Amino acid sequence: MAVGKGEVEIVRARTDQREYRRIVLKNSLECAATMDVRVGSFSEPEGIEGLAHFLEHMLFYASEKYPLEDSYSKYITEHGGSTNAFTASEHTNYFFDVNTDSFEEALDRFAQFFIKPLMSADATTREIKAVDSGNWDTLEVRPKERGLDTRLELIKFYEENYSANLMHLVVYSKENLDKIHNLVEDKFQDIRNTDQSCFRCHGQPCAAEHLQILVRAIPIKQGHKLRIVWPITPEIHHYKEGPCRYLGHLIGHEGEGSLYYVLKTLGWATGLSAGESDWTLEFSFFKVVIDLTDAGHEHMQDIIGLLFKYIHLLKESGICKWIFDELSAVCETKFHYQDKISPAEYVVHVASNMQTYPPKDWLVGSSLPSMFSPRTIQMTLEELSIDNVRYESGMEDSNIGEGVALGIFWESKQFEGHTDKVEPWYGTAYSVEKITSSMIQEWMLCSPNENLHLPAPNEFIPKDLSLKSTLDMVKFPVLLRKSSCSRLWYKPDTMFYTPKAYVKIDFNCPQAGNSPEADVLTDIFTRLLMDYLNEYAYYAQVAGLCYAIKHTDCGFQVTLVGYNHKLRILMETVVEKIAKFKVKPDRFSVIKEMVTKEYQNFKFQQPYQQAMYYCSLLLEDQTWPWNEELDILPHLEAEDLAKFTPVMLSRAFLECYIAGNIEASEAESMVQHVEHVFFSGPNPVCQPLFPSQHLTNRVVKLERGKSYFYPAEGLNPNDENSALVHYIQVHRDDFMLNVKLQLFALVAKQPAFHQLRSVEQLGYIAVLLQRNDSGIRGVQFIIQSTAKGPGRIDLRVEAFLKKFESELYEMTNEEFESLAYCGISNHVNYQLSCTIFQGMPCKSGVGRNIGDAKNVNALIDVKLEKHKNLREESGFYWREIYDGTLKFDRRESEVAALRQLTKQELIDFFNDYIKVGTPLRKSLSIGVYGNPHCSEYTADKNEPVPYSVVIDDIVSFRRSQPLYGSFRGVSGHGKL
């Protein structure tokens, strides 16, 4: 227990060594030692929808104390950090992380958001245009029609809602609690407290016309989906009893006898989830979401009938204590042995809990259901009933507590031409019809008589959570074993001390990706394996032991991660299923249908995603265009896969990585078992690769001094966005060149965002990212815009680089050293990271900058901390193994290179590789043209000024270019 000064005990995990303190400032701002404001989109004035989110954006611009526009974000970025915000329905969250030495000033700048922000008329106008994304109508057009000034409404909204008593702050730092306490009081005491009340939506939000309905809607993408929704009592009022957790666990179960198992067996569903969603203190919904096959779409009524049959089964079976106890045990183990996450993510979690739970449960939230209450669970179960529904027409006050089925939402492209309504915001076509309890009862009677039953006891729940002794404090992975069939890299846990392990087995199969057809068949093969194993392995997943079988460019990978106690049991089952693989025609048809829809839906990806895909296709050797694979799919049958699989597995090499709470002898034994099954057992299915068959990763080597351009029309003719990826290829993996590139990306990231997005308003997405293709490094600008076509955007990128050149030259030695130092100091010691952060994941999916901490592989993100958990550490080392670079000491070596780097060397690097027009510069621009810019596509393709080379055909271009040497597959690589 963590005890605050004279405060209640705060429940924390047994492995949590952090200290906590709760303080309350005189202005009633509560601190648990980020800023979360209890004001969200629900509080917006009618007719100005999007105002809360817009305000979130505006607070980043400037403040009275720091009036230089964008200086806050610039300061954070240049001092080793990142910043972001999001708006949810009932709260808005702002956060940052930064280098420790810059923490106090960063905190002061952050506090000004809530003390005296500046929202100038010019900045407001520019941001309305930039944020767009559906809000232009509500923030500009409609307010003007009503005679409203959006800026004045913005200021009014801020002053009426942003009060200290509605704010929670979380501070995470290496400093002692007393110092943090004093710092918070000093920086945040000037926030006004106007004693505002938080928004409350009293009672359920659904009127009578929203109940007992079937809504048919036409989605953008291919696929069918059912959503069944009930209004329920919010679980937050019974979070210790966990009624929704209990019911969601059972209705969403995937083991034998479950609803999903039955639907899957019938060939009607490919996914199912169940649980509470969209909850507040006043209302909540229980939702069941089912992904349907084409056959399932034709059996909607049967599926609804089976759902209610399963709910009836739960009522008949009673509330089972053994199920609750099992669930409680799983939750307790998960809480006490939880992986550490980034300080930013952690305080988000804590801050969201502060808004809802009493202080002692701020760290726990609802993650530890501990009070078995059959009555409470039964109450929620009754709310999922069809028996107590009121149907009086014209009813004004619905008795929601009596188990009214809110509605069934059914999505399918097959409803085109059969709807009579259009949703105003996104233009979704839909229709509504009433349903009755007698209709659902009829569906229940007519649905198939399947053997629905409760799950069996979970044999995968770990009993042995002890830690293995590690004699050698191994810092990096070691090559523990090597044969003609496999190679084993081993890394015992010397940092996290949790009873968990990580296992990766990479099957290198030359036949798996040597053609588009082979690539698609390998993909279906891996999905079928997951499909076959699902009802068995689902129990392991519930118990905290996860696995995946995924298709790669040169074969497939098996990954297992979680508690080590039962891991080998699961691994052996997975291995046996691969070795004895047989094609089930009915399941092949379902998976083929699912894969086909995914390929068909590629055209609905956002234009910037399409541009990034084309970039990869242009650069990476032995990759196949999606349209070729889509053309193949209709002709593939189960027999093709049956013939292909033994050929694919006939020659293989296994690259293995085992880490965590596993001894070296155990790791060796596991790989020996896998080798025995595939290579030397009674029925071997594989032979070792010939030396010439070891696979390589080759990347196109662009010609120096050339600028390449690939124009493509957007695949979705209804998408008004265009996109540009401007890629600059720099070098093959080298520590000194790496840090020069990383430092450039660090110093240019925020100016690029500010200039291209905020000032020029090119688009909502405008980001500078590093790029690493199998050890070939570069940098890329990614911009999506409705305002300009790709050719004009590309000119603005080059104009930015010319403007940025002078900023780089003007950088002082002190500024340079600060940049380099934050890369060094943050790398050396995890405890040197400070974070202010808060809130929950954004329900509305809005974020300020695609290039924030979770999305940018910039210098500080790589070096900020030691690895936080086993999964993250293993991912880092596995990347080195998979790429073939094997530089396990990469971070230490790059820190050493940073110490030697001078400002002039960074400028020379820019002049050699990045500067527009330099003889060594190699650039590739990919433009995806949206509907408004179709005419520009033809012009840019025929008159490609200022590009050196226009690419007409991707495959022809790739075949005509030289390739970089591969790190992977080099003879003698990784000797014992």
Residue positions counted in the chain: 976
Neighbours of 268 (CB within 10 A): 25
Co-location of 653 and 564 in the same domain:
yes
pLDDT per position as a tens digit, 362-407: 999 999 999 999 999 999 999 997 743 322 222 233 333 333 456 8
572: containing domain: 478-688
Q: What angle do CA 517, 596, 251 make, to 5 degrees?
A: 130
Closest CA to 832 of 343, 106, 99, 102: 99
In whole angstroms, give the CA distance from residue 503 to residue 501.
Answer: 7
- The pLDDT of residue 153 is above 80: yes
Co-location of 682 and 708 in the same domain:
no
Closest CA to 761 of 132, 76, 82, 90: 132
- Is residue 507 one of the residues assigned to a domain? yes
Closest CA to 495 of 895, 868, 872: 868
Which region among 22-31, 263-272, 281-290, 493-502 has the lowest average model confidence (pLDDT)? 22-31
Co-location of 937 and 864 in the same domain:
yes
pLDDT per position as a tens digit, 688-714: 999 999 989 999 999 999 999 999 999
State both tokens at 583: 């094609």
Co-location of 134 and 267 in the same domain:
no
- Is residue 565 one of the residues assigned to a domain? yes
- Is residue 277 one of the residues assigned to a domain? yes
Band (pLDDT 50/70/90 cuts) for residue 505 is very high
Average pLDDT of span 651-659: 97
Total structural domains in the chain? 4
CATH number of the domain that 73 lies in? Answer: 3.30.830.10
Using an 8 Å Cβ cutoff, are 958 and 635 in contact? Answer: no
- The pLDDT of residue 68 is above 50: yes
Neighbours of 767 (CB within 10 A): 21
In whole angstroms, give the CA distance from residue 141 to residue 123.
Answer: 18
pTM: 0.90
State both tokens at 337: 């042995």
pLDDT per position as a tens digit, 525-573: 999 999 999 999 999 999 999 999 999 999 999 999 999 999 999 999 9
Q: Which amino acid is at 880?
A: E
- Is residue 617 one of the residues assigned to a domain? yes
Band (pLDDT 50/70/90 cuts) for residue 915 is very high
- The pLDDT of residue 851 is above 60: no
Residue 860, CA distances (Å) to 382, 443, 747, 883 in order:
52, 57, 11, 22
- Is residue 461 one of the residues assigned to a domain? no
- The pLDDT of residue 852 is above 60: no
- Is residue 176 one of the residues assigned to a domain? yes
In whole angstroms, give the CA distance from residue 289 to residue 270.
Answer: 11
- Is residue 259 one of the residues assigned to a domain? yes
Co-location of 630 and 575 in the same domain:
yes
Mean pLDDT estimate for the chain: 88
Band (pLDDT 50/70/90 cuts) for residue 103 is confident
Band (pLDDT 50/70/90 cuts) for residue 432 is very high
Closest CA to 208 of 389, 388, 411: 389
- The pLDDT of residue 840 is above 50: no
> Any idea what DSSP says for residue 127?
H
- The pLDDT of residue 27 is above 80: no
pLDDT of residue 842: 29
- The pLDDT of residue 809 is above 80: yes
Co-location of 145 and 219 in the same domain:
no
> Any idea what DSSP says for residue 418?
S
pLDDT of residue 289: 97
Show the 3-state SS of 487-541.
EEEEEECCCCCCCEEEEEEEEECHHHCCCHHHHHHHHHHHHHHHHHHHHHHHHHH
Q: Under DSSP, is residue 720 helix (H, G, I), strand (E, B) or coil? A: coil
Residues contacting residue 826 through CB under 8 Å, at least 6 positions apart: 80, 99, 832, 833, 860, 863, 864, 865
- The pLDDT of residue 325 is above 50: yes
pLDDT of residue 30: 54
Co-location of 97 and 131 in the same domain:
yes
> Which of 30, 44, 49, 56 is the catalytic position?
56
- Is residue 935 one of the residues assigned to a domain? yes
Residue 668, CA distances (Å) to 34, 472, 567, 659, 880 in order:
46, 16, 15, 12, 21
Co-location of 665 and 704 in the same domain:
no
In whole angstroms, give the CA distance from residue 510 to residue 436.
Answer: 58
Our answer to whether residue 535 is catalytic in this structure is no
Using an 8 Å Cβ cutoff, are 224 and 216 in contact? Answer: no
Residues contacting residue 494 through CB under 8 Å, at least 6 positions apart: 470, 473, 474, 475
> Any idea what DSSP says for residue 758?
I
Average pLDDT of span 212-218: 93
> Residues of the chain with pLDDT > 70: what percent?
90
Average pLDDT of span 42-69: 93
pLDDT of residue 134: 63
Co-location of 223 and 101 in the same domain:
no
631 versus 761: which is more confidently predicted? 631
DSSP string, 9-36: EEP--TT-------EE-TT--EE---EE
In whole angstroms, give the CA distance from residue 499 to residue 866.
Answer: 19
Our answer to whether residue 64 is catalytic in this structure is no
pLDDT per position as a tens digit, 871-883: 999 999 999 999 9
Co-location of 634 and 737 in the same domain:
no
In whole angstroms, give the CA distance from residue 655 to residue 652.
Answer: 10
In whole angstroms, give the CA distance from residue 657 to residue 481.
Answer: 11
> Which of 30, 69, 78, 127 is the catalytic position?
127
pLDDT per position as a tens digit, 565-614: 999 999 999 999 999 999 999 999 999 999 999 999 999 999 999 999 99
Average pLDDT of span 209-224: 91
Average pLDDT of span 749-778: 93
In whole angstroms, give the CA distance from residue 72 to residue 626.
Answer: 42
In whole angstroms, give the CA distance from residue 135 to residue 49.
Answer: 8
Co-location of 680 and 736 in the same domain:
no
Average pLDDT of span 2-15: 64
CA dihedral 956, 961, 965, 967 (to 10 degrees): -40
Co-location of 543 and 623 in the same domain:
yes
602 versus 969: which is more confidently predicted? 602
